[in-house]
Amino acid sequence: MTVSSPPRVLTVAGSDSGGGAGIQADLKTMLALGVHGMSVIAAVTAQNSVGVQGYWELPPEAVRAQLGSVLGDIGVQAVKTGMLASPVLVETVSEVLAGVGAPVVVDPVGVSKHGDALLAPEAVETVKARLLPVATVVTPNLWEVSQLTGVKVESEADLRKAADAILELGPAWALIKGGHLPGAPTDLLTDGTREFRFTAERHDNRHTHGTGCTLASAIASHLALGEDVPSAVEKAKEYVTGAIARGFPLGGGIGPVDHAWRWRG
C-alpha cells in the first residue's frame, strides 16, 4: 500500500501553555482540517484562562534555525504567522519568508484575548515595513487595524476603508474581522478589486480563546489543500464559527474554542 503525505503547513508563533491559542491552537486546527502541521516557536508564554502572566522570546538564531530545518528538508505548502513579539524576530521571520514560494497568512497579533500585550510597541513599524509585504492574506481584528493604520472601525461601513489601509502596506489580500461590531459577525475580504463579505451566526458563548489563531491557521490549511483565497476564507470561517459555538469552560476565566467540534459531533 502506498501512503501519500498530506499537505504541509507551518506555523511561526508563540506557545500558549494553556493550550487554547498560539502554536497549540494552530496545530490542532491543522490536524482537524487534514494537513500536516509543523511549528517554529518564536516565544513562550506563561498563560492560562485568566491572562498572560509573562512571555519570553527565543533568540533570533533559534528561530532562524527552526525555519531552516523545516524549510530545508520538509518544505511547506502554506505558512501562518502569529505572535512574533519583537522587531528582531519580525525581521528574521520576514527575511526568510520572503524567499518561500508558498502562501503566507499573517495574523498580526498585538494583544491576547485578555488584553495582554504580545508585541513590543517598537515592533509595529517592523511588522508594517517587513512582514505585511510578504503576506498573501493579513487577518487583523479591529484593534490591530487601528494599531497598524490608525483607522477606527465603528460600523460595518468602515470595513472597506480599513481593508484599503491595510492593503497599502503591501499584502495581496486583507481580511478585516468585524466580530467585535454589533450584529451578526461580518468579515470583509478584498484584494483591492474584488470584495467578499462573510457573515455568520453570533453565538452567545464567552469561551472564545484562540479564535484569531484558529481562523488564520484554517485559512492557511485550506490554501495548502488547494483552495483559492476567497474559498479558503469561506471554509475557515465556517470551521471557526463551529469551534466558537462549541467553546468550553476551562479554568477560572475564558475557555478555548473547540478545535475538535466536528469529531465530537
Q: Is 139 a catalytic residue?
A: no
Q: How many domains are contained in the chain?
A: 1
Q: pLDDT, tens digit, for every residue of 169-191?
A: 999 999 999 877 878 889 999 99
What DSSP string runs through 127-184? IIIIIGGG-SEE---HHHHHHHH-----SGGGHHHHHHHHHTTS-SEEEEE-TTSSSS
Q: Is residue 59 part of a domain?
A: yes
What local confidence, expressed as pLDDT, does residue 219 receive?
Answer: 98
Residue span of the structural domain in which 221 resides: 8-264
Q: Identify whether 23 is part of a domain.
A: yes
CA distances from 2 to 5, 7, 74 (A): 10, 16, 19
Residue 141 falls inside a structural domain: yes
Is residue 3 in some structural domain? no
Reply yes or no on whether the pLDDT at 257 is more than 80: yes
Note whether residue 252 is domain-resident: yes
pLDDT at 111: 73
pLDDT higher than threshold 90 for residue 243:
yes
Rounded mean pLDDT, 43-65: 95
Question: Which residues on adjacent β-strands are paired with residue 41?
Answer: 13
pLDDT of 114 higher than 70: no
pLDDT confidence of residue 99? 96
Report the CATH number at residue 24.
3.40.1190.20
Mean per-residue pLDDT over the chain, rounded? 94
Q: Does residue 113 have an active-site annotation?
A: no
In a domain, 72, yes or no: yes
For residue 213, indicate whether it is catalytic.
Answer: yes
Q: Is the pLDDT of residue 7 over 80?
A: yes
User: Is the residue at 2 inside a domain?
Assistant: no
pTM of the model: 0.96
What confidence tier does 201 reach under pLDDT thresholds 50, 70, 90?
A: confident
- Note whether 226 and 237 are within 8 A (CB): no
In a domain, 213, yes or no: yes
Mean pLDDT of 19-30: 97
DSSP-derived 3-state class of residue 89: helix
Instruction: Give the C-alpha separation, 226 to 77, whole Å.
Output: 9
- Please indicate whether residue 183 is annotated as part of the active site: no
Q: What is the pLDDT of residue 155?
A: 87
pLDDT average, residue stretch 224-229: 98
Instruction: State mean pLDDT over 110-136.
Output: 87
Confirm whether 212 is a catalytic residue.
yes
* From 20, 177, 241, 255, the catalytic residue: 177
Looking at the chain, the whole-number percentage of residues with pLDDT higher than 70 is 99
> Which entry of 11, 29, 190, 208 is annotated as an active-site residue?
208
pLDDT value of residue 120: 83
CB of 242 within 8 A of CB of 261?
yes
Q: Per the residue annotation, which of 81, 178, 213, 237 is the catalytic one?
A: 213
Identify the residue with better confidence: 200 or 113.
200
> Which is the catalytic residue, given 22, 37, 178, 212?
212
